[in-house]
Structure 1
Amino acid sequence: MKNKTTRLTGAALPGLLCLFMSLSALWASASPLQSRVTGSVTDTNDNPIPGVSISLTNTNTGTQTDLDGNFELVASPQDTLRISYIGFKTLLLPVGNQTRFTITLQQDITDLGEVTINAGYYNTTRREQTGSIARVTAEEIERQPVTNPLAALQGRMAGVSIVQRSGVPGNAPSIQIRGQNSLRSGFGNSGNLPLYIIDGVPIDSAPLNSSSGLTSPNLGGIDPLNTLNPANIESIEVLKDADATAIYGSRGANGVILITTKQGTGGKQKTRFNAQIYTGAGVVPRKLDLVTTADYISLRQEAFANDGTTPTESNSPDLLLWDPDRYTDWQETLFGGTAETTGVNLGVSGGSERTYYNLGVGYQRETSVFPGDFKYTKLTANLSLNHRSSDERFKLQLSTSFGSDNNRQFDGSSFVSTALSLAPNAPALYSDDGALNWEDSSWNNPLATLYRESEARVQQLISNLSLNYAITPQLEARLNTGYTLLTSEEVTEQPIRFYNPALWANARSRSIHLSAGRQSWIVEPQLNYRNTWGKFNLDALLGSTFQHRQGSTLNIVGIGYSNDQLLGNLAAAEQVVVADNSTSEYAYAAAFGRIGLNYARKYYLNLTGRRDGSSRFGPSRRFASFGAVGGAWILSEESWMQGLKPFLSFTKLRGSYGSAGSDQIGDYGYLDTYSTTPGGGGLYPTQLTNPIYSWERNRKLELALELGFLKDQLRLNTSWYRNRSSNQLVGYNLPAITGFTSVQANLDATVENTGWEFEASTNLNSGRFSWQASLNVSIPQNRLVSFPGIEESSYANTYKVGESLNIQFLYDHTGVDPETGLYTFVDVNEDGVYNFDDRVVVKDLNRTLFGGFRNQFSYGRVSLDFLWEFVVQDGQQYYSSGVPGRLGPILQEDYERRWQSPGDMASFQKLSQGLDALRTYFRFQTSDGIYTNTSFLRLRTLGLNYELPTEKLGINSCILFLQGQNLLTLTSYRGLDPQSPGTTLPALRTLTAGLKLNF
């Protein structure tokens, strides 16, 4: 068979050429032209990230960012960029018509092995940590317009209870890490306070005293942390268990809070600037429903009728002297204003590959909801400088922060209590001539408080210098040094016009001058050794601590000034009294070591030991040893667990046991002290000696299980802990015959804190949409395990073995007597007398459950973030502070359910001014009848952010944000706020709007 050959003839060539041109045109129309795409990649702190992988999905085309975080590649509008880097969330961005991208990567909370955790003297990761460490990042802190950075942690950490006791800026929040360990409590007592470490430098966490009322029992004094700028904080880690805290020895008994400030980053980067500006307003979120004038006049008349007495001008000016038709909403008048807040934070960072810096300044101003010119202002500055040698053997890190705040606030309890107790028909505040109206001395004008001016200035410097030198690739020497200086100056002026001239004709003006100073230094030389032998890894640390602290307090009162213009000038005072002039000195030394072992990255062992010495004990009791052991087993790395990997991606068991101590008592308590007698004729003892008391001991045990599901997109952590604090350092009460109230001693009492902590988090990404959610739940229990001889001690009426330290002994309330209309109670021993023996009800006021639920949604340039905080607890229900029927209003609810006539089945006793009603009402205040469920669910924060498209303007990022705090509270408590009960100003509901720029 012959082969057939097809030949292209000249006639066929034009047809093929036309076909080729048609196919080319069709290909060109189907494949759009490609163009050059450029961009930059930074983290959330605007630091460039080198080595980020940039690729086109479904292709082999890709590149990486350079040292400045920049990239360039060729793409078409139909392509999608895939941006990925270890430790950060992967992004998918459609190219479209955009040729320039400014990309910000966020840390991936599910990447257990890459997110660095600060453990104090060393770093670890979520995957490898053997201790219990909670962490909050800058992203969660800096957007909240708070004065104190601890306030930003509420509801975000398991086992960490933070209570904002007042809406007055500048006061210290209450914080407990896994419960109360010490019997010592009250203002100025640091027995239950955690250790604060800022960039490696410990600071005195005890609040400062104040003469303006900020140290009242409901508040916490002036917090030294107020001088910090929350916008300059990179992260806050809280160390909770023995493995995490034992390396701090005696200082870590109540937990450790590590605050790390922002640092610059290396690389050949250009100078970068960032700015944050915000403004907002805050109001009291809730007002009480008090009786109106008509009902108030009615209840007052009913009280006189029940008592069978007649009103007089002295006992009832509201009925006989004041306008019966007048009505003033005193809550709106005295604390119904709007508090304005303004903040500005500016920063600049840059440098070379070897030397780089970060510099920032901040300003914050807050006003008050009270009448008058009350305000709080704060100025901050911070500098960090990093340098490393060309051979990478020498590293230097310097960080310095300075803060100065000026507080012209007061605790506000007088305005709040007055607003809740003042008759609605009380007189006008001012007379026709503009002066304070005293209404013929028939009332105390609440605005007289405005003339008692107080101003507190606090300045604090915190500096740290760290030097590192690599002796060999495995051995590194480090020297960490720090210095802190805090000064506080407060002047309170009380002029003559503060007093009612008709009643205080001989009153004298006065001024109170309160000065305090604290300074300390610390030096910590260390050696670090790291080595690997096959699958075996060793990380060892050996170091020592030398710390010295000095403190001083001076309180002077000037009395009698000839003119109010001279107030504050002590030379012009008729009398000068030195109320307090004291100094203290504290020395601390320690040697510590740590050995961290792991094999095949699945078996971990952490051994920690510390030998502490403190000047607060007698010469024979100054030194003590503490230590801990922690271990972890990553089961998911075992071969027999691999079959579960697609579903159960991570499993870790960990546990720890160890001891810590506490020397948080006053200085010189083991010495005899004397003072001169009036006139200087002799000496008299002011303190008894006891040189043999020693360290308080805190033994901690923890077991935990950590799970990760679906490639760690869902994480579940469960922890159980038990802390026992013994050898309690307290003031042992003495009989009056000794001439002293107490002597410092150790009590053979043991306090136990146990609890469960649950944490869950998820992270889902789908294209431009991402969702992060986290939940933390804490179930704590506190109890006094043992206290030999408590029945014969002065603590018998305060504590009870088997119960928590935060209890109340109460009368058993049985309702209202239908015949007499008075509250009734159980007379346990039937002796006709009500005393402590009849207080048989024990009420635990600790939180039984608390936590938070956070969600963050992001789509493209928009993100929404909110946090719900929840607390389960019992507490005092709100009732009028005065006896119902006497001068002052009551809640409308109580007015409607009061007893009115014999036979009534009422829950609120009759209106009366008699002594019987007075006794039963105050007895009711110490009975179980006044206690109720004060649990709450609160929308703690709500934030909305939008990133403007600013690529063509030369701005890396521009974010508009709207932030709300305390927007909604669901509770059965009927007072102002379940977290700060009584007459304390509650935390304000605030709304702020701002702008954040990076360029």
Structure 2
Amino acid sequence: MKILTTRLTGAAWILVCLYWATGNLLWATPQQTVSGTITDTEQNPIPGVSIRLLNSNTGTQTDMQGAFSIQALPSDTLSISYLGFKTLRLPVANQINFTIVLQQDITDLGEVTINAGYYNTTRREQTGSIARVTAEEIERQPVTNPLAALQGRMPGVSVVQRSGVPGNAPAVQIRGQNSLRSGFNNSGNRPLYIIDGVPIDSDPLNSFSGLTSPNLGGIDPLNTLNPAAIERIEVLKDADATAIYGSRGANGVILITTKKGTGGKQKTRFNAQVYTGVGEVPRKLDLIKTADYISLRQEAFANDGARPTETNAPDLLLWDTDRYTDWQETLFGATAQTTGVNLGVNGGSTYTYYNLSLGYQQETSVFPGDFKYNKLTATLSLNHRSSDERFKLQLSTLIGRDTNRQFDGSSFVSTALSLAPNAPALYTDDGELNWEDSSWTNPLATLYRESQAQVQQLISNLSLSYSITPELEAKLSAGYTLLNSDELVKQPLQFYNPALWSFVSSRSLHIGAKRQSFIAEPQLNYRNSFGKFNLDALVGATLQHRATTGLNMVGIGYANDQLLGNLAAAEQVVVTDNTTQEYAYAAAFGRVGLRYAHKYYLNLTGRRDGSSRFGPSRRLATFGALGGAWILSEEHWMQALTPVLSFTKLRGSYGSAGSDQIGDYGYLDTYSATPGGGGLYPTQLTNPVYSWERNRKLELALELGFWNDKVRLNTSWYRNRSSNQLVGYNLPAITGFTNVQANLDATVENTGWEFEAATQMHAERFSWQASLNVSIPKNRLRSFPGIEESAYANTYKVGEPLNIQLLYDYTGVDPETGLYTFVDVNEDGVYNLDDRVVVKDLTRTLFGGFRNQFTYGRVSLDFLWEFVVQDGQQYYASGVPGRLGTLLQEDYDRRWQGPGDSASFQKLSQGLDALRSYFRFQTSAGSYTDTSFLRLRTLGLSYKLPLETLGLTTCTVFMQGQNLFTLTKYRGLDPQAPGTSLPALRMLTAGLKLNF
């Protein structure tokens, strides 16, 4: 090839000198229109490619022909990125037209932007442990709570859906249980939730409805979020990532970022998604039929040498012994319907752009009756910047309202699993509820105790920034949240059996809560380069105030059930709770990030916290962390390995955080008013000297990339130690109080390994992506001086995990008596806790997920397997075998029937000895088993219709399945949440997604 050269003339040299002499001529140059086309290596245009100006929010996308245009300066650099292709950076200079060919590659670690809270980083440069899930994995799942979409997708993040009733709060733990404090809302172990920069109070809301009861998680405030409006979720886990949040980040931080618009001159874009589907309980138990049940009851009376009477055996003497009802099918065997609609629009000009989305979701129930869950959401994002790029404004607002119309079904599922199969019919011939006699409690009566809970939430954030110099930026972030919750429970006379409760009156229960929070965070950010050194620093402060109000009332005695809920019509109104609590929090924080030669990284963070939940002398505490990373693959002596080992990074961190997750005013003496005339009585003892819980975190990690990062392997080891435990110290009953807030000199340790592997393959129109994450956690009580003399002696054991059960040592069924036997257990009927010598760990010992995505042309198949290794209590009949109530067919077949039998299930009996033996068995090692499971969590199939000629950017039809298939040894409804709560439903949905 001939190389052409051009000599500058004298006049040309003069022009060049004048250009450089002016200095500011470049900055004064007006913006010009830069256009181009983008194709793949086969010259096919690629629509939807993101083109933005580097270090700016200005951007646009390619149209259906792969064409784009954008306003830019000659000094700007174009960043071109598209999922599945290498990101390019092209200087504009004097070029106004580009022809760009993208190469397939999804593994450029340096281009994956990670939200680390107060700053952004990349996969390549991050020094902390941060997990990330994008909109692609969230938006198609028909879940009411976005956290439910995280199950099996992140190492170190355990998400348990405790009930299949929509609206329940899932249990979320990040790297184990740090605090001895526990309860229905995971008190003391909850992560911090940040939505678009605003922290929210994630405490579940109490509910009178049994299906959203505290034991099942309560009502989750995060339900008001629309999963389809979320751009990504990041989870911060180690000290380096969480220490900048101080005490609030002790249990990890979950950052939720909603979708935003993009700058640049572009057409207004619309998107729509609609889906509909059905759900059902995925598993039913194999309970005995009527013939075996009658035989069971008769055998029990024969074993006891007793005669059945109408009092102790209505099922044998009063009820039809040929009747059979499948109570599981009757009481929770219906098909739930679900529908979702999401609409969005985004657009704007070069300097002002917006994104607006609206969402609607409805889900009915698998229970009989017209019960349903509704959710309405709206999300608005507005961005503006000045023409000189110095001033920027970002406003985001989320509004959500969810309405959960349920009933008090706290025992509804367990009733279906315990009713005799020949129990009377639900309705009389006249269509009325059947109250056959006092021996029968009609389960449908509970349907009349309706509950309607409504939650409305507003989350708003305003962020202002101004570049004082190119290196120094001032920023102010202000947020406001408002949550209102109201629930009304109507309890009419039809709820009661008239034969037993003729003296009761109808009533209504009213529960209300209001949460309001303000936060302001001024910041200064400084960035500069000094040769090979890069400095990124920030300092800031946090001021937050939160107020919570609760009002609970009961209306008793209504003349007509039509008036239920109108307190003015009640004969009596009782206020059971009327409280207002305030919480104030202040902090100063800072960060210094250093980078040298793009291979050595150091990150220092610190925070000084103050909380109103401690006494005046203990309110302040300091937390901090140090994190570092070394990219070995940048060293010259590693270059020989780069064709195979393309990326190698070592990172580690150590730091401390604290926790103030306790109630307000715990350090004060408190009093409550007596009903009526002005008296007071004490409700809490003072202790002004308890202080912060401390959590010290250590992590070491190795990240590897092979064959140009087509295969990635990450390994992390962590150790978290939480000390100075904030718990209620139990007091003797003679004091008149059950406990007092205090610190216990106990240390809880969480250690574990986390593994991640990811790979991808591209071949013409076919692509395959796979990822695997595995977590191996270990939790133990490291130390607890004086535990033997404390009230926790029979709850925890030093050296053992916190989530344990102390159990009797089970030795089998006695061949002669047919009763369960145990080692060293008193036979006098006294339950001695010292006899419980077996320690059973119920903690998840391994969990994770395996995801695959196959794409061929316009067709895509995606699935996720979730796996969990754990022990739990096996499911057995709720009543004593032989008494009124059903039994699993398996247990009936392996029961003891006579002397000399080698059986695994005790004899059928109604006697006291059998009762004592059975309940002892329920608290023995014999009733616990392997409850591990492998579950096909999600399965999705989609097809992009070839409708581009109609003006559609994309038109995708999809089908999605949730909880489709489970392999487990557990005999109950759901190994994820052993017991008798409604399991997570199997959902099948189909929908359509449009972009135009």
CA deviation after TM superposition for structure 1 residue 189, in Å: 5.5
CA deviation after TM superposition for structure 1 residue 440, in Å: 2.4
- Tell me how far apart the structure 1 counterparts of residues 384 and 856 of structure 2 sit (CA, whole Å): 39
CA deviation after TM superposition for structure 1 residue 412, in Å: 3.9
Alignment CA distance shift 1:391-1:673 (3 Å) = same
Equivalent in the alignment of 1:792 = 789
Equivalent in the alignment of 1:305 = 302
1:667-706 alignment to 2 at 5 Å? 667-680=664-677, 682-706=679-703
Check whether the contact 2:165–2:212 (CA below 8 A) recurs between aligned residues. no
- Tell me how far apart the structure 2 counterparts of residues 836 and 803 of structure 1 sit (CA, whole Å): 17
CA deviation after TM superposition for structure 1 residue 502, in Å: 1.8
Larger mean Cα displacement after TM superposition, 831-840 or 521-530: 831-840
1:206-221 alignment to 2 at 5 Å? 206-214=203-211, 216=213, 218-221=215-218
CA deviation after TM superposition for structure 1 residue 845, in Å: 0.2
Check whether the contact 1:42–1:48 (CA below 8 A) recurs between aligned residues. no
RMSD: 2.3
Equivalent in the alignment of 1:995 = 992
1:775-924 alignment to 2 at 5 Å? 775-827=772-824, 834-924=831-921
Equivalent in the alignment of 1:933 = 930
Alignment CA distance shift 1:184-1:506 (3 Å) = same
Alignment CA distance shift 1:107-1:642 (3 Å) = closer
Check whether the contact 2:230–2:257 (CA below 8 A) recurs between aligned residues. yes
1:225-374 alignment to 2 at 5 Å? 225-374=222-371
- Tell me how far apart the structure 1 counterparts of residues 705 and 410 of structure 2 sit (CA, whole Å): 49
Q: Which amino acid in the other structure matches residue 910 of structure 2?
A: Q
TM-score of the aligned structures, taking structure 2 as reference length: 0.91
- Tell me how far apart the structure 2 counterparts of residues 645 and 104 of structure 1 sit (CA, whole Å): 25
Check whether the contact 1:190–1:205 (CA below 8 A) recurs between aligned residues. no
Equivalent in the alignment of 2:84 = 89
CA deviation after TM superposition for structure 1 residue 504, in Å: 1.4
Check whether the contact 1:87–1:108 (CA below 8 A) recurs between aligned residues. no
Q: Is residue 2:453 matched to residue 1:482? A: no
Equivalent in the alignment of 1:755 = 752
Check whether the contact 1:165–1:173 (CA below 8 A) recurs between aligned residues. yes
Could you say what secondary structure the match of 1:871 adopts? strand
The counterpart of 1:543, out of the listed 532, 540, 543, is: 540
Check whether the contact 2:779–2:800 (CA below 8 A) recurs between aligned residues. yes
Q: Is residue 2:439 matched to residue 1:442? A: yes
Alignment CA distance shift 1:238-1:721 (3 Å) = same
Q: Is residue 2:948 matched to residue 1:951? A: yes
Q: Deviations over 1:167-224 (max 9, x none)?
A: 0000000000000000111124631000000000000011001111245454100000
Check whether the contact 1:340–1:366 (CA below 8 A) recurs between aligned residues. yes
User: Percent identity between the aligned chains?
Assistant: 82
Q: Deviations over 1:874-898 (max 9, x none)?
A: 0000000100001111000000000
Q: Deviations over 1:292-313 (max 9, x none)?
A: 1000000000000000001111
Q: Which amino acid in the other structure matches residue 895 of structure 1?
A: Y
- Tell me how far apart the structure 2 counterparts of residues 44 and 140 of structure 1 sit (CA, whole Å): 23
- Tell me how far apart the structure 1 counterparts of residues 971 and 44 of structure 2 sit (CA, whole Å): 60
- Tell me how far apart the structure 2 counterparts of residues 465 and 706 of structure 1 sit (CA, whole Å): 37
TM-score of the aligned structures, taking structure 1 as reference length: 0.91
Could you say what secondary structure the match of 1:190 adopts? coil
- Tell me how far apart the structure 1 counterparts of residues 59 and 247 of structure 2 sit (CA, whole Å): 40
- Tell me how far apart the structure 1 counterparts of residues 258 and 301 of structure 2 sit (CA, whole Å): 64
CA deviation after TM superposition for structure 1 residue 575, in Å: 1.1
Q: Which amino acid in the other structure matches residue 596 of structure 2?
A: Y
The counterpart of 1:66, out of the listed 43, 64, 69, is: 69
- Tell me how far apart the structure 2 counterparts of residues 678 and 85 of structure 1 sit (CA, whole Å): 69
The counterpart of 2:733, out of the listed 736, 755, 773, is: 736
Q: Which amino acid in the other structure matches residue 69 of structure 2?
A: D
Could you say what secondary structure the match of 1:67 adopts? strand
Could you say what secondary structure the match of 1:537 adopts? strand
Equivalent in the alignment of 1:518 = 515
CA deviation after TM superposition for structure 1 residue 442, in Å: 2.6
Unmatched 5+ stretches in structure 1: 1-34, 56-62, 70-82, 93-102
Alignment CA distance shift 1:215-1:728 (3 Å) = farther
Could you say what secondary structure the match of 1:905 adopts? coil
CA deviation after TM superposition for structure 1 residue 675, in Å: 2.6
Alignment CA distance shift 1:37-1:665 (3 Å) = closer
Check whether the contact 1:705–1:718 (CA below 8 A) recurs between aligned residues. yes
Could you say what secondary structure the match of 2:251 adopts? coil
Aligned length: 934
Equivalent in the alignment of 1:73 = none
- Tell me how far apart the structure 1 counterparts of residues 981 and 897 of structure 2 sit (CA, whole Å): 32
Check whether the contact 2:280–2:986 (CA below 8 A) recurs between aligned residues. yes
Q: Which amino acid in the other structure matches residue 789 of structure 2?
A: E
Q: Is residue 2:395 matched to residue 1:398? A: yes
CA deviation after TM superposition for structure 1 residue 51, in Å: 8.6
- Tell me how far apart the structure 2 counterparts of residues 190 and 932 of structure 1 sit (CA, whole Å): 28
CA deviation after TM superposition for structure 1 residue 672, in Å: 1.0
Q: Deviations over 1:893-921 (max 9, x none)?
A: 00000000000010000000001000000
Equivalent in the alignment of 2:604 = 607
Could you say what secondary structure the match of 2:737 adopts? coil
Q: Which amino acid in the other structure matches residue 41 of structure 1?
A: G
Q: Is residue 2:590 matched to residue 1:593? A: yes
Could you say what secondary structure the match of 1:783 adopts? strand
Q: Is residue 2:383 matched to residue 1:386? A: yes
Could you say what secondary structure the match of 1:782 adopts? strand
- Tell me how far apart the structure 2 counterparts of residues 716 and 53 of structure 1 sit (CA, whole Å): 36
Unmatched 5+ stretches in structure 2: 1-41, 73-77, 88-99
Alignment CA distance shift 1:695-1:934 (3 Å) = same
- Tell me how far apart the structure 2 counterparts of residues 950 and 811 of structure 1 sit (CA, whole Å): 67
Check whether the contact 2:51–2:60 (CA below 8 A) recurs between aligned residues. no
- Tell me how far apart the structure 1 counterparts of residues 316 and 437 of structure 2 sit (CA, whole Å): 15
CA deviation after TM superposition for structure 1 residue 499, in Å: 0.9
Q: Is residue 2:54 matched to residue 1:41? A: no
Could you say what secondary structure the match of 1:332 adopts? helix
- Tell me how far apart the structure 2 counterparts of residues 559 and 68 of structure 1 sit (CA, whole Å): 69
Equivalent in the alignment of 1:132 = 129
- Tell me how far apart the structure 2 counterparts of residues 545 and 744 of structure 1 sit (CA, whole Å): 27
Check whether the contact 2:113–2:120 (CA below 8 A) recurs between aligned residues. yes
CA deviation after TM superposition for structure 1 residue 833, in Å: 5.1
Q: Is residue 2:531 matched to residue 1:534? A: yes
Q: Which amino acid in the other structure matches residue 567 of structure 1?
A: L
Q: Which amino acid in the other structure matches residue 274 of structure 1?
A: N
CA deviation after TM superposition for structure 1 residue 870, in Å: 0.2
Equivalent in the alignment of 2:14 = none
- Tell me how far apart the structure 2 counterparts of residues 36 and 751 of structure 1 sit (CA, whole Å): 59
Q: Is residue 2:488 matched to residue 1:491? A: yes
Could you say what secondary structure the match of 1:113 adopts? helix
1:49-128 alignment to 2 at 5 Å? 65-67=68-70, 85-86=80-81, 88-90=83-85, 109-128=106-125
1:661-672 alignment to 2 at 5 Å? 661-672=658-669
Q: Deviations over 1:788-843 (max 9, x none)?
A: 11111101111110001000000001000111000001116899855111100000
Check whether the contact 1:107–1:115 (CA below 8 A) recurs between aligned residues. no
Alignment CA distance shift 1:337-1:363 (3 Å) = same
- Tell me how far apart the structure 2 counterparts of residues 827 and 107 of structure 1 sit (CA, whole Å): 68
Equivalent in the alignment of 1:200 = 197
Q: Deviations over 1:501-534 (max 9, x none)?
A: 1221111001000000000010000000000011
- Tell me how far apart the structure 1 counterparts of residues 678 and 794 of structure 2 sit (CA, whole Å): 41
Check whether the contact 1:87–1:115 (CA below 8 A) recurs between aligned residues. no
